[in-house]
Structure 1
Amino acid sequence: MMLRKPVPLLRGQRRPFHHPTFSYRTNFSQSCPFSWNAIHEPYDYTRARLMVNENHEMAIRRVKFNMSELGKRAAESVAFSHDQCVNVKGLPDGMFNKAFLFTMQDGTQVVGKVPNPNAGRPHYTTASEVATMDFVRNKLNTPVPKILAWSSNASENPVGAEYILMEKVGGIQLNKVWPRMNIKQRFELVKTIARYQKAWMSKSFIQYGSLYYSKDLQSNSGCILVNEDGSRFKDDRFAIGPSTGRGFLDDGRIDVDFDRGPWDKLYGYKLAIGFRELACVQEMPQLPRSILGLYGPGTYRRSRSKKIAAIRDYLRMVHFFLPTDDSISSACLWHPDLHVANIFVNPENLSEVVGIIDWQSTEVLPLFDHARQPYFLDYDGPPATGLDPPDFPRDFDQLNPDEKIKAERLYLNMSLATLYRKLTYGKNKRLFKAMEFQQTSSFDMMLFAQNLLIDGEALYRARAIELEEEWSCLPGVQASGNLPFPLQYTTGEVRSIHEDADKAIRSMELMRGVKESLGELWPEKGIVPLERYDEVRELLKHVKTDLINQLANSEEEKTGWDKAWPFDN
C-alpha cells in the first residue's frame, strides 16, 4: 500500500534574579515570594501535545497546588525564611510530574517535585519514591539527591498536593555530552554504571513489590534483607509494600482494584500480573486504544473475549516459565529508567557519575526482570548477543558520506553494547545469567503477557500453541517432571488462532506504513512537540484519508476505518 509521503521540512544561561517574565509557558521564572495562585501555567502539562485521547491525557497531567506554600517549604528545607527564596523557575514537564527550581538568597538551590494524578496512587507513589532514594543513597552507596522535605498526604499539608523537595544535583546531564564522547569515555562511564548495578545487587529482599518506610504502611513489620553471602538481617526502618510500577498504573489500570502486592513468592507475583490484566479487561468500561496496529474492516478485531483467552493461556503456563536458578530470581531494587537524561556526570571527568535521578515507580523485582543493558546504550539496530566485537562493514568504502556516518555510529553503538556484555560477564556473572535468561522463550512469554490489556493477544495465543514443540526443554517443565503441555485446542480452534495472528500482523503492517509516511513526525507513544502539533495533525488527516480511500470498498467499511483510526481527529 502506498501512502502519501510527508512534505519535506526545513531545518542560555538562566538569569538568577529578575522580574516576572512568561516568555514560554514551561520556562517561567519569577521572584519569590508572591502569590502564584492566580497563574495556572505551573499546573498544566505544557511540554508537548498528545495525539490520542488528548483531553483525558491532559486532565490526568494537571495538578493544582499552592505554589507560594511550596516555595516557603523549599526555603525552610534549607533553613531559610520564606522571604529568602528569591527565584523560582519551572523545569521541563515530565510525563508524570511537575518540577521547579527554587533559588535562595545565597544561591542555594532546591528542586521541588509535584506528582500529577497519573503518577500513581495517592500516598504510595511519593512515600515509596522517598524511601527508595534514602535506601539507594545510604544503603547502596549510589549518588542520589538528598531528600530535604516531603509529604505524601495532599489533604494534610498547606501545599495542597503531594511533594518532594530535594537537593539539586551537580554536574551536567549525560544527554548534553553523550553525543561528543568517544568510545573510551563512553566505556569508562559504562564501567561506572556497572559498578552501581553490582552495588544494587549487594542487598536483596525476600519479597517483591516496592520499598517504603515501615511507618508509612499499615503493617509496621520491617523487612528482611539478604547479603551477597546469603546472611540475613532485619531492617525495621524499611518495608516492602504494594508495587508502584508503571505496569500497575498506566492505561487506566490505576483505577482498577487488583492485587498490587507485596508478594512472598515469585509465582505469586507472576500470577498477579495475569490477574491484573484479567481484571482490567473485564472491568474497564472501554478497552484502551492501541497504536501498534490498525484494526479495521478485514483485519484483526480486538475483543475482550480474545484478550481473556490469551490471559488465561498465560495463567495456565506461567508456573513452567519460572527459572530454576534462584540466584537470578532474587528480589532486587533497580533504577527503572536509566537513560541519558537521568544521569548527571562531572563535566571535568565524564566517567564520574555525580547523580542519578527519577526513582519514581521503582520496584523490587526478580533480578531477571531488571537485567537489561542501561537504556542509554539502546540503539536502532541488531542487538548485541555475544561477547565478540561486531564486524566492521565490509563494504564501508563503497558507501556514500551519509551512509558512512550512519555505519560508523551503528558500529560504535554495537561495540559499546558488546563491551557492556563482556564487562558484565567478567565482573558480574549473576547479572549476566539473568540477562541470558531474557533471551529465552520463557522470559518472552512472561514479558509480553504484561501488556495484553493493550495489544498482542492474537500473536500471544499463536506463540503459546507453537510452544508445545519446545515445551519439554523449558526449565520449569523439566523441574516439574516433564508434565504434559497444558493447552488443548481443537483443529478448528488452532486454525482460528493462526488466522487471527495473520490478521494482527496485517494490522501492524498497516500501522507501520502510517509510521513510515510520517517519518520523523511520527508521534512516539502518541506524543508530539508543541511546535510540530499542527503539522503532525494535518499530515495524519491526509494519511487517514489516503488509507481509507485505498482500503474501504463501501460506505460501511469507510465508517469502520474511521472508527478504527486511533488518533484524535
Structure 2
Amino acid sequence: MLHKAAPTLQSQGRITLFTTGQLKTHLSQSFHRSWDANDDSYDYTRGRFLSNEPHEMKIRRVKLNLNELAKSAAESIGFTYSQCVRIEKFPDGMFNKAFLFTMQDGTQVVGKVPNPNAGRPHYTTASEVATMDFVRNELSTPVPRVLAWSSEANENPVGAEYIIMEKAEGVQLDKVWPKMDIKKRFELVKTIAEYQKAWMSRSFTQYGSLYYSSGLPNIEGCVLVKEDGSNCKEHRFAVGPTTGREFLDDGRIDVDFDRGPWGSVHQYKSAVGFRELACVQNMARLPRSFLGLYGPGTYTPSRFKKIAALQHYLCLLPYFLPTDKSISSAFLWHPDLHTENIFVHPDRPSEVLSIIDWQSSEILPLFDHARQPYFLDYDGPPATGLDPPEFPKNFDELDPDEQRRAHGLYLNMSLATLYRKLTSTKNGTLFRAMEFGQTPSFDMMLFAQNLLIDGEALYRARILDIEQEWSSLPGVQASGTQPFPLEFSAEDVNSIGEDADGAIEGMELMQSVKESLGELWPEKGIVRPERYDEAKRLLKEIKTELIARLAHSEAESKAWEESWPFDD
C-alpha cells in the first residue's frame, strides 16, 4: 500500500522523502531532547525556608532519571519513549515531585516521585498504590487508576520510587470554589459526605496502613468487617506499618519505634505515646517549636518535662478511650480533603470527578478521622450543634468591608453546620465520632501526639484539670469508681502552673511576631522565593527589638539568640 508522500526535509545537503508515518517519527526523534537537563526537576522551588533551610531543601531533593520516567509513562499506555513529546513539572508539593507527560496524540498521564521526607523507602509508595486500588475498586470512590509503579528505587532504571497514574479529570476545586454559590457548595458537601459513607462500608480489625499482601513478608491478607457486622477474609490486601505523617515528620522518620500494625485501639494509642518518648529520649537535638517563643522569663522546654507529660498520658490513656466501639473501629480515610485534592466537573462543580493524593493514608479509629473536610475550614468560631448560626444583628451598622467579612463568616458557618446536620442524619456513627472529638478525652489524646515539638507545659496543667473532671471520663464511667492514678505535691502544682503561665507568655510573644510579619508569616516555615530576603530582614529587626525589650543581661541576650527559631 502506498503512503502519501509528506513534504521534503533538507538535511546535510540531501533531500529526503518521508511518508507521513516516517515524518512523525523523524520529527519526534529530531526534536526530542534529554529531559534531565534541568536540575529544577530535582529541587524544591516553590518556596524558601526561614529555618534550617539547607536541611529542608535536602530532604525535598530527589535525583531521578527523568528520561526513564518518561519512558515508563509512555509505555504504561502503549506508547514509546520517543512518542512522549512534552514534560511539565507541577508546582512542588511538600513531599513529592509530580510531572505531566504528554504523548504525540495528546494523551496525558501523571508521574509522581516521593521526596526523601515523604516516608520510609518502599512503604510510602507501596501503601499509596494499594490504597488507591482499594478505594477505587472496593469503596467506589473516583481515584486515578495506577498504570505503573515501583517502590524499589535501586531496582528500576528511574533511580527513584515512582507512580504513573491517569491524569485526574476535571478542574481542581480551588479554581471554582470562590465562584460557587451556597447551594452548589452544599451539593458538593453532600457528594463528599456520600463518599465518606462509602468509606465506612468496610472496616478493618487492625490499625496501620494498607498494602498489597504480596508486598509484606509473612502476612496473608486481612479481615474486613462489612456494614452488617460480618467478617470476610481479604487475600489481596493487608494491613502493615503506618505511613502517617505524625510517624515521620520532624525527624521521627529516623528514630526506631513501633510503627504497627496494631490489633487494638489501645495498642495504637499507646504506640503514639511510646513513639514520642523514643524521639524525646533519642534525638540529639529536640526540634524547635514555632508555636511559642521560649526564652528567659517565659518557659524553657526540656526533655524531662516532655517525658513526664508522656508518662502521664500513657497512665491515663485507658480512661480516655471511648466505650462506644463503633467509633473506635478501624477505617481507611483520605488524610487531607482540601480544595487542591478534589477535582470537579467544570460546568457542574458539585460533581466530583476525582480525589487525589492518598499518600500517608492510615487505617485509624473513626474518631481520629471524624472532622469536617478541610475545604470547609474558615477563620472564626467553630460551628457547633445543629442549629444554623444567627445572622449578625448589627449588620446594617457595619461598614462595607465589615459587612463583607460578616456575611462571608455567616455563609461559612452555615455550610459547616449543614455538613454537621447532614452527617447526623445520614451517618450517625460518624457524627457520634465527631461529637467525641469535642470532649476532653479526645483533646488529651490529640495533644499528646505532638509533645515532641511543643505543649508539654500546658498538657501537664490540663492533667490537673482532668483530676477535677475524673468521674466524667469514659473509662471511669465504664469501670465504676476509680481513684485518680496520679499524685502531685503542692510544689508540683505550683511548678506546673508557673510553666503553663510561661508557655502562654511564649505563645503570645510568637503571636506578636506573626502579627508583625503579617502576610510574610511563614506558614509551615516557608515563604515565596521573591519574599525571602524581605522576610529575613524583617525577622532580624523583630528579633533585635524583642531581645532589647526582654533581655536584662548579656547571658539572657545570648539565651534569646540561641532560642530564636528562624535562624539556620
Normalised TM-score (structure 2): 0.94
**Superposed displacement of residue 542, structure 1:** 1.0
Q: What SS class does the counterpart of residue 341 from structure 1 fall into?
A: coil
Which residue number corresponds to residue 524 of structure 2?
A: 525
Residue of structure 1 in register with 2:357 after alignment: 358
1:375-390 equivalence runs, <5 A? 375-390=374-389
Aligned-partner SS, 2:88: strand
Which amino acid is 2:149 matched to?
W
What is the DSSP-based 3-state SS (H/G/I as helix, E as strand, rest coil) of the residue aligned with 2:111? strand
Between the aligned partners of 1:329 and 1:535, the Cα distance in structure 2 is 48
Match of 2:406 in 1: 407
Counting only pairs closer than 5 Å after superposition, residues 180-329 of structure 1 correspond to structure 2 as 180-329=179-328
- The 1-side partners of 2:186 and 2:348 are apart by 13
Distance across 1 between alignment mates of 2:457 and 2:137: 46
Structure 1 residues 347 and 37: alpha-carbon distance in aligned structure 2, compared to 1, 3 A threshold: closer
Q: Give the Cα separation in 2 of the matches to 1:219 and 1:200.
A: 27
Deviations 1:472-508 (A, max 9, x none): 1111111122211111111101111111011000110
Q: Deviations over 1:19-47 (max 9, x none)?
A: xxxxxxxxxxx998432334311000000
Correspondence for 2:394: 395
Q: Deviations over 1:440-464 (max 9, x none)?
A: 0000000000000000000000001
Tell me how far apart the structure 1 counterparts of residues 218 and 411 of structure 2 sit (CA, whole Å): 50
The one-letter code matched in structure 2 to 1:491 is A
**Stretch deviating more after TM superposition (556-565 or 192-201):** 556-565
Aligned to 2:23: none
User: Unpaired segments of 5 or more residues in structure 2?
Assistant: 1-28
Q: Distance in 2 between matches of 1:398 and 1:219?
A: 69
1:496 and 2:512 aligned: no
Q: Deviations over 1:175-228 (max 9, x none)?
A: 001011110010000000000000000000000000000011012310100011
Deviation of the 1:413 alpha carbon: 0.3
Q: 1:88 to 1:32 in 2, by over 3 A?
A: farther
Separation in structure 2 between the aligned mates of residue 343 and residue 563 of structure 1, nearest angstrom: 42
In structure 1, the residue matched to 2:545 is 546
Q: Does 1:138 align with 2:174?
A: no
> Which of the two has higher C-alpha Rg?
2
Distance in 1 between residues matched to 2:470 and 2:50, nearest whole Å: 42
Structure-2 separation of matches of 1:102 and 1:409 = 39
* Alpha-carbon offset, residue 299 of structure 1: 1.1
- 1:145-164 counterparts in 2 under 5 A? 145-164=144-163
Question: Which sections of structure 1, spanning at least 5 residues, go unmatched?
Answer: 1-29
Aligned to 2:12: none
Q: Quick one: distance in 2 between partners of 1:58 and 1:459?
A: 32
Counterpart of 2:424 in structure 1 is 425
Query: In angstroms, what is the RMSD of aligned CA positions?
Result: 1.1
Q: SS where residue 109 of structure 2 aligns?
A: strand
Measure the CA separation in 2 of the matches of 1:477 and 1:126: 42
Structure 1 residue aligned with 2:558:
559
Superposed CA offset, 1:65-117 (max 9, x none): 10000000000000001111010000000000000000001111010000000
142-151 vs 526-535, greater mean Cα deviation:
526-535
1:322–1:517 Cα change, 3 Å: same
Q: Does 1:471 align with 2:465?
A: no
- Cα offset, 1:369, TM superposition: 0.3
Is residue 32–residue 83 contact of structure 1 (8 Å, CA) maintained in 2? no
Count matched residues: 540
Determine the C-alpha separation between the residues in 2 that align with 1:217 and 1:396.
Answer: 60
* Cα drift, residue 285 of structure 1: 0.5
Counterpart for residue 336 of structure 1: 335
CA distance in 2, matches of 1:86, 1:525: 36
What is the letter of the counterpart of residue 65 of structure 2? N
Residue correspondence of structure 1 range 5-154 to structure 2 within 5 A:
33-154=32-153
Code of the residue aligned with 1:442 in structure 2: it is S
- Distance in 2, matches of 1:374 and 1:128, equals 22
Name the residue aligned to 2:435.
Answer: 436
Deviations 1:402-440 (A, max 9, x none): 111111110010000000000001110000000000000
In structure 2, the residue matched to 1:3 is none
Q: How far 1:525 moved relative to its partner?
A: 1.6
- Give the counterpart letter for 1:499 in structure 2: E
Q: Which runs of 4+ in 1 moved over 2 A?
A: 30-39
Supply the distance in 2 between the matched residues of 1:175 and 1:330 (Cα, whole angstroms).
32
SS of 2:354 mapped into structure 1: strand
Aligned residues of 1:31 and 1:86 also touching (Cα < 8 A): no
Residue by residue over 1:246-284, the C-alpha shift from the partner in whole angstroms, topping out at 9 and shown as x without a partner, is 000000000000000000011000000000000000000
* TM-fit CA distance, 1:534: 1.3
The 2-side partners of 1:145 and 1:549 are apart by 55
Distance in 1 (alpha carbons) for counterparts of 2:288 and 2:237? 39
